[in-house]
Amino acid sequence: MKPTIDVMSSIRESADGLTLAELLSRHPGLARRTAQRTIAKLVEDGKVVAAGAGRTRRYLQTGPRLDAAARVGVQEGFPSFIPLSADSLDIVAYIDQPLEARKPVGYQSDFLDAYRPNATSYLSGSLRRQLHEMGRTAEAGAPAGTYSRTILNRLLIDLSWASSHLEGNTYSRLDTRELIEHGKAARGKGVVETQMILNHKTAIELLVENVENAGFNRYTLMNLHGALAENLLPNPAAEGRIRQHAVDIGKSVYRPLSTPQQIDEVLDMLLDKANRIDDPFEQSFFMMVHLPYLQPFADINKRTSRLAANLPLFRANLCPLTFLDVPEPAYSRATLGVYEMTRVELLRDLYVWAYERSTQEYLAIRQNLVEPDPLRLAWRDLIKQTVRDIVLHPEREPLACIVRAVGEQVPVDERPAVQALVVEELRRLHDGVLARYGLRPPYYTAWKAVHGR
């Protein structure tokens, strides 16, 4: 009993907590293994909370949050409909302290270094099986991206709205639908909010349309960030590029890496490890954890991580993670737990709850979805390229361009139907779908001026 009393007493006396090395220096007669077992028991009992990773991990007293009643009080400060583990409650207890009571921390390289793809698991085997069961779709054996393309119209609205909402965007779901489907900006909303929604739409389309070739590599990640950041950063040159300066995290004592060379090196390691993870959910959650923690971009890191976390799910034809109904305060606390404590439990609990919420929505609507037109699906690339070429060359006669493009590639018996599809696609063209064809608004405006639309 005495080692427990000695260890607890030392931790209680230190406002900033103690590392294992500091604790052992205060108690030279205490064996290292005994100290480790004692600390583990104190953490398990909820008397001590761990913050940080590796040699820099510090152990702090949880103060008055020791008994079951107090733990219920912590849960009351967090949405009660999201189940939390005891470890998550410890994280909430620490993060809910005032800033001045939390110890400033920098980037902990041990956090990423210690992760071994397919050996380390943030999500247990049983939890991954549960997620697979929840997210399984009828397209499980189909080519990569089949399911996400099938639900694309709904996905664009839900994920764009929910992810933007987590950034304080006040567009409603209905506003978002009007903007995405009809190109109508909501009245009374700022241009930044409108741009944020449209950027999400473009970024989601980028992933879905290129799912066969997209991966956790520099090209995909930079272009994903570039799409999300367009027209939203003070310095446009920072769109899709590694940040070149230090950044602060609002309402946090965490200080990310500030040297571009270090960020570059760690990002390469992060992407390499992500690519070697076999399970799509572990891969997804790994990106949710480590991309924001690194903060490789000047801003818009969390948005990038939320969309990147969907890429493995798109490829595996699993239900997407849309973040529908995720409360912003809960998401913020969960990410702060990663930033300041390098602890993933709270974000993990939120991830699992959010995914179950998403799957309930998507599996419920799946039976009401109209099956894709097989001819449109078969010739989708030709249709999009033809529409793009027509708009980029307003001096050309549209019907002649369609007849020529279809005649060069489509079998004779299918030409009339494919021509009709291109004409219909061109007729329905509007500002809200330009990214689908790789077009920007100025080109569309110029084309309309010539053709009277």
Residues that constitute the known binding site for ATP: 299-306
Where is 282: in which H helix or E strand? helix 280-294
The Cα 226–Cα 403 span in angstroms is 35
Burial of 302 (0-12, 13-18, 19+ CB in 10 A): middle
Cβ pair 313, 135 in contact under 8 A = yes
Beta bridge partners of 255: 106
Binding residues: 299-306
Q: Per-residue DSSP letters for 236-262?
A: GGGTTS---S----TT--EE----HHH
**Tokens matching residue 181:** 């489907």
The Cα 253–Cα 209 span in angstroms is 39
**Tokens matching residue 277:** 């993870």
In terms of phi and psi (left: phi > 0; alpha: psi -120 to 50; beta: otherwise), the region of 241 is beta
Where is 234: in which H helix or E strand? none
The Cα 28–Cα 40 span in angstroms is 19
Residues 6 or more apart whose CB falls under 8 angstroms from that of 369 comprise: 150, 151, 154
Cβ pair 340, 92 in contact under 8 A = no
